[in-house]
Structure 1
């Protein structure tokens, strides 16, 4: 399968350039971390305001998918190797063999979500244990209020 790729100058890093996603201009900065042999990307909106800084390019993982920000472009931009021979993004292969590919744009209208499949609670048949009276408000990372500090009256 042939993809469209994000074009940029590969001669020197860091690379800062503008790109239009769906008619909106964004500033992208791709830079290399020599210590970790990794590449990272920043994205700014059309006004130069930071949206996401330091997103690591991970092979096969779409950029910005873990970020919930309406200012981000509606694109699926993923570091991949069309031949399938590479498994990571490194100075040895990026951006010659591994490139930032557009795997989809503006496909949200075609996505159908069945809300019945999005169960937020565990509806198992197991009975709840009423012996534990602690509430969520009493819980923290270290236990509940009676086990941490213990000065409760």
Structure 2
């Protein structure tokens, strides 16, 4: 099951050179990860399959962290509710690269997370503004608890394009 640590798909993900519109799938395949409706799209469980890509993680002694990724192909899918009732819609994204930069804030209790490039991010129900799932192209700045939990305290700025995955899959 998807934990807080795994919900960030920026190094693996998101909107790059080509966005393919959501369309009914001829056959619903089992995704790599299923995020329950309460922590993703509300009315349906969200599936995610990721293929390809590489992630390089660089940790600094001061607590700062960089995650640099090359592109993958992401397929988001409507999984219905509790495994039944899927409408068969999928949304596939061919991505290029991304960078996630975590900088420890004064006091050390939070981090500023800057996502640049092509990023996919799932906001859980416990996050500020959550739940939801978005593909970002550009720059997003968030305040999070730490690089492992990624509990979103606030979304500070964004520039570029944001695609609401849940809306595409309804």
Shared fold (TM-score, shorter chain, > 0.5): no
Where relative contact order (Cα < 8 A, 6+ residues apart) is larger, the structure is 2
TM-score by length of 2: 0.28
Larger fraction in strand: 2
- Higher CA-based Rg: 1
TM-score by length of 1: 0.30
